[in-house]
Structure 1
Amino acid sequence: MTRIIQSLAEISAPYDALFVDLWGCVHDGVTALPHAVAALQAYRKRGGTVVLVTNSPRARAPVEHQLKGFGVPEDAWDTITTSGDSARAAMFRGVVGQKLFFIGNAAEKSGFFEPLHIQEDPLAIELVPLDAAEGIVCLGPFDPMADPATLRPQLLMAKQRGLKLLCANPDIVVDRGERREWCAGAIAALYTEMGGESLYFGKPHPPIYDLARMRLRALGRDVPDDRILAIGDGIITDIKGAFGEELDCLFITGGLAARETRTDTRDHARATPEEAALTRFLEKEQYDPTYTIGFLR
């Protein structure tokens, strides 16, 4: 059974690096979570390395800029790995073709179609209408508040044409402050349900973890997996991904699963999941995280 803890400091000593989710753990989509920031700053002062591992479909630079806007200080982390960068690397290798139909909004699109500096001979990508496309790249819905089913006509045409869909963010939903929004994962799941083929590059899938390890080595830190702790609030992304990579993990219940685990979202300093509710939730999801906490602190 998972061990419920009260602070990261209780269990962080055996770990040389953290793979930390962002949304729901370090910020709420609007502003930084102060207790989480303080915990990461303290961990780094003790010599640990923090790799932010996010299913954001954006490239690393825009995410860094976004963090500054949210008030997440640079001394709370060492490097950033995004689902967007993992997906971009695959896109520029041509995994869904050269002529692509784009689904997403302008903010997420920024920088996505610029080749990675570390990549040799990237494919020249051309954005085209759906009827001329060889594949689809999805960074999220056009309208994050609209039901993904509104895209059924386009997805049906794509399926009939045999197009693959590159999903740059496997998350189904995310909470922006008090508002819940749809993500690219919901569209990819719908496309798969309709009989189409979706390709994923964020958590819980291996490519983003491979990239996170590369980012860690680029810092001169070659950390074995048994010295890495994965932290996140998504049971089917962060926790499932950690299990797949055989990493210890810390489940944050105050994010996406706050209601199911009866975690008081008003008190980040002391909030703890109700043990019976947590047990029911984990049994239903069939995952048993190494550790559990209400909020990162």
Structure 2
Amino acid sequence: MTRIIRNLAEIGGDYGVLFCDLWGCVHNGKIAYPAAISALQAYRATGGKVALVTNAPRPRGLVADQIARLGVPDDAWDDIVTSGDAAQEAMFAGRVGQRVWHVGPDRDLGFFTETEDPRAAGITRVPLEEAEGVVVTGPFDDRTETPEDYRERLAAARARNLPLLCVNPDLVVDYGEQRLYCAGALAQLYEEMGGEALYFGKPHAPIYDLARRRLGVGSDVPALAIGDGIGTDILGAVNQGIDSLFVTGGLAAEHMGDDVESPEAHRLEAWLSEQRISATYAIGRMR
């Protein structure tokens, strides 16, 4: 049974490293959460290490700039590890060819340019009809578009058996009060069509391996994964064999009762049962 806690300090001392999600846990896309920042700062003050592990489809540096603008200070984390970081390596290695059709907004162009890897020069963005593979960082306009807007173009890619690199496995994210589709939703549709999608962010192993390497901690150091995504953050923890802290006040808030800060135990257990997954701990909001 998942144990509901009131704050991170109740359990933080049992872990040497945190793999903490960003969106929905530390900020909502518009502002940072002061209580979450304080919790991470206090944890680090005891000697623990924090990796902000995010499915953002951009390299580390761009995410660091973004969260700084939102009000997340440098002393709340030790490193940032992004799905963009992990997926970049796969692209440079040629997993989807050298000529790629990019699906995503201009703000994600740093995925192609923000790197010192010389292999980046070999990647060219081209129209779909000229592509050897597809790179999806998100919809072109996530404020208005849904996966269905891409069905015809994805069908054309599937007809040519193009591999699809999903840079952000998240299906949806909450931007303030608005729910937006992410790259994972487009990749899911492509797989439903019979296409091949490649993933390197949560819940898949490469991003956790990269986080441990960057922090300089081995698999012997007890880790806790924190997040509001049941199919990414919590499933990733299960896949890695580590404990998890499910932030119920994020994507699943509507299922947990009237008080976003205090999930109702019976609602939590019923919902987790429906998802066929369990978290070690749960908390309303990070604090």
Q: TM-score, normalised by structure 2?
A: 0.97
- Paired AA for residue 27 in structure 2: H
Instruction: Tell me how far 1:287 sits from its aligned partner.
Output: 1.3
The answer to whether the aligner puts 1:246 opposite 2:241 as a matched pair is yes
Point out 4+ residue stretches in structure 1 off by more than 3 angstroms.
119-123, 223-226
2:271 corresponds, among 249, 270, 281, to 281
For residue 100 of structure 2, give the secondary structure of its aligned residue in structure 1: strand
Query: What does residue range 82-231 of structure 1 map to in structure 2 within 5 Å?
Result: 82-109=82-109, 111-114=110-113, 116-117=115-116, 119=117, 121=119, 124-144=122-142, 145-217=144-216, 222-225=217-220, 227-231=222-226
Q: How many residues align?
A: 286
Tell me how far apart the structure 2 counterparts of residues 12 and 76 of structure 1 sit (CA, whole Å): 14
SS, match of residue 72 in structure 2: coil
Distance 1:169-1:74 versus aligned 2 partners, 3 A rule: same
Structure 1, unaligned runs of 5 or more: 266-270
Instruction: Name the SS for the 1:75 alignment partner.
Output: helix
C-alpha displacement at 1:112, in angstroms? 1.0
SS of equivalent to 1:166 = strand
Aligned to 1:11: 11
SS in 2 for 1:112: helix
| Structure-2 residue corresponding to 1:268 | none
Match of 2:250 in 1: 255
Could you tell me how far apart the structure 2 residues matched to 1:66 and 1:39 are? Answer: 20
Aligned to 2:232: 237
Deviation digits for residues 96-150 of structure 1, max 9, x if unmatched? 00000000001122x2113744x57556101111000000000000111312111
Q: Determine if contact 1:263/1:294 at 8 Å carries over to the other structure.
A: no
Equivalent residue number for residue 296 of structure 1: 286
Does the CA contact (< 8 Å) of 1:201 and 1:208 recur in 2? yes
Q: Could you report, residue by residue, the CA deviation over 1:135-172 in whole angstroms, capped at 9, with x for unpaired residues?
A: 00000001113121111111011000110100000000
Q: Deviations over 1:246-288 (max 9, x none)?
A: 01110000000001122623xxxxx110111101101011111
Aligned 8 A contact 1:88 1:112 in 2: yes
Distance 1:115 1:251 in 2: 32
Kept in 2, the 8 Å contact 1:249–1:290? The answer is yes
Match for 1:262: what amino acid? G
Describe the SS at the equivalent of 1:57: coil
Q: Distance in 2 between matches of 1:225 and 1:280?
A: 33
Matched position secondary structure for 2:122: coil
Q: 1:54 to 1:181 in 2, by over 3 A?
A: same
**Distance in 1, Cα, partners of 2:29 & 2:250:** 11
- Normalised by the length of structure 1, the TM-score is 0.93
Q: How far is 1:235 from its partner?
A: 0.4
| Residues 112 and 120, structure 2, Cα contact 8 Å, conserved in 1 | no
Counterparts in 2 of 1:57-68, with a 5 A limit?
57-68=57-68
Distance in 2 separating the partners of 1:224 and 1:201: 19
Question: Does the Cα contact within 8 Å between 2:81 and 2:211 map onto a contact in 1?
Answer: yes
Structure 2 unaligned residues grouped into runs of 5+ = none
Amino acid of the structure 2 residue aligned with 1:161: R
Q: How far apart are 1:225 and its partner, in Å?
A: 4.7
Deviation at 1:214, TM superposition (A): 1.2
Measure how far apart 1:14 and its partner are.
1.3
Q: Judge conservation of contact 1:16–1:223 (CA < 8 Å) in 2.
A: no
Instruction: Provide the identity percentage.
Output: 54
CA contact (8 A) 1:20 1:230 kept: yes
Q: 1:28 to 1:115 in 2, by over 3 A?
A: closer
Amino acid at match of 2:40: L
* Cα distance in 1 between the residues matched to 2:146 and 2:207: 27
Whole-Å separation in 1 of the counterparts to 2:251 and 2:160: 36
Q: 1:290 to 1:179 in 2, by over 3 A?
A: same
Cα distance in 1 for partners of 2:248, 2:106 equals: 31
